[in-house]
Amino acid sequence: MNLKPGVVLQKGKYTIDSILGQGGFGITYRAIHHQHNQIVVLKTLNESLRHHQDFAKFQHQFINEVHLLANSRHPNIVKVWDFFEEEQLFFMVMDYIPGHNLADLIKSGHKLHPKEAINYIHQIASALSVVHKNGFLHRDIQPKNIIRQAGTDTVILTDFGITCDLTTGIRQTYANLFSVGYAPPEQCDLQQKLTPAADIYALTATLYSLITGKAPTPAALRLSGAIPQTLIVSKTELRLLETNLSPKIENAIIKGLEIDPQKRPQNLENWFALLLDKSDISEVNQQQDRTKENCSEINGNYGLMDTYSNSSMNDKVANNLTNKSKSRII
């Protein structure tokens, strides 16, 4: 049974307000942090998994997600501020980000102007570069996992629940989960080692959907040959969906959605070099700097940044994680 509104956790530190989202493995709650009088997000595993034979593995993967977030500090990555155990369930405390995910912005075929879409994609690419440098893939880049912060043009990358370790190629417990239309073909093959090209495919698919109003043809369907013309994304197809695209954008989308991961750009920097000229990248960077300034003025970061420095909070989360790592599940 999931937590009801009004349930108190950590001896009165947090009170559950409502359920924000729920999937097969995880559930997120809106909650009140009473010590700081702020709204936060609590994420944990579904209560229904307690009696699953792989529950210990799910808990282990959850801790890995907290580790990744605690060590991937970036303005466009959701921040984790605390980690605790209650009633044999682990919880992480994250920023509450008022706003809407990008999937909401393109409902019913609505399209974004290419310039607006690229601004969002550039922010997420910057966040992903930190994840990749830390030795992980996100593996679930898609519009619904990107939130546009209310009153700003800043977007935040969320949901790191199905990450993959780049150093070993080991995928986590939820390795067979993927988002149709955004997952690359190699993600469906559990024997194939994933590289940053997998996230580049998903990021390109997200750009495609933002500017066309629809997700690309699923990779599995493209591979099947059932629709031969979709094996390669063509300029003709793109122009039928969106006429206001530059040749560089068209080329970046075509290259980023290559079926063969070896034919895609192998890192985010190379893919972005296809997408924009240096002068355009400079303009996007300046726009994002202005957006971040406005964001701070409008919402004060919405989180606990004023209370905790990044280093002190990283230490706090790390200490809690170290203690939990000694538990029975590791």
My answer on whether 69 and 107 are in the same domain is: no
pLDDT at 300 over 80: no
My answer on whether 103 and 230 are in the same domain is: yes
Kindly state the DSSP code that residue 243 receives in the 8-state scheme: S
Find the mean pLDDT for residues 157-171. 62
My answer on whether 180 and 275 are in the same domain is: yes
User: Which residue range is the domain that position 43 belongs to?
Assistant: 8-96
Whether residue 119 lies inside any domain: the answer is yes
* Domain's final residue, options 37, 64, 96: 96
Q: Which residues contact 20 (CB under 8 A, 6 or more apart)?
A: 28, 29, 30, 41
**CATH number of the domain bearing residue 44:** 3.30.200.20
My answer on whether 133 and 239 are in the same domain is: yes
One-letter-per-residue 3-state SS of 132-183: HHCCEECCCCCHHHEEEECCCCCEEECCCCCCEECCCCCECCCCCCCCCCCC
pLDDT at 153 over 70: yes
Q: What is the pLDDT of residue 175?
A: 46
My answer on whether 13 and 140 are in the same domain is: no
pLDDT in tens, 105-127: 998 779 999 999 999 999 999 99
Tokens 């008022």 found at: 98
My answer on whether 64 and 160 are in the same domain is: no
Say which amino acid occupies 300: G
Whether residue 199 lies inside any domain: the answer is yes
Whether residue 3 lies inside any domain: the answer is no
Structure confidence at residue 269 as a pLDDT band (50, 70, 90): very high
pLDDT at 306 over 50: no
My answer on whether 184 and 54 are in the same domain is: no
* Structural domains in the chain (count): 2
Q: Of the ranges 45-59, 74-88, 203-217, which one carries the lowest mean pLDDT score?
A: 45-59
Q: Which residue has the higher pLDDT, 241 or 316?
A: 241
Q: Which residue has the higher pLDDT, 263 or 221?
A: 263
* Domain's final residue, options 65, 81, 96: 96
Whether residue 301 lies inside any domain: the answer is no
pLDDT at 301 over 50: no
My answer on whether 14 and 154 are in the same domain is: no
Kindly state the DSSP code that residue 113 receives in the 8-state scheme: -
Find the mean pLDDT for residues 176-186. 78
Whether residue 307 lies inside any domain: the answer is no
Kindly state the DSSP code that residue 54 receives in the 8-state scheme: T
My answer on whether 267 and 131 are in the same domain is: yes
Report helix, strand or coil for 1.
coil
**CATH number of the domain bearing residue 250:** 1.10.510.10
My answer on whether 174 and 244 are in the same domain is: yes
Residue 269, token pair as written in the block: 């920097």
Q: What is the pLDDT of residue 307?
A: 42
My answer on whether 83 and 139 are in the same domain is: no
Whether residue 306 lies inside any domain: the answer is no
Structure confidence at residue 225 as a pLDDT band (50, 70, 90): low
My answer on whether 111 and 80 are in the same domain is: no
Nearest Cα to 187, choosing from 169, 168, 214?
A: 169
Find the mean pLDDT for residues 219-224. 80
pLDDT in tens, 24-77: 678 999 999 999 999 999 999 988 888 889 888 888 888 888 888 888 889 999
Q: What is the pLDDT of residue 313?
A: 53
Q: What percent of the chain has pLDDT over 90?
A: 48
pTM of the model: 0.83
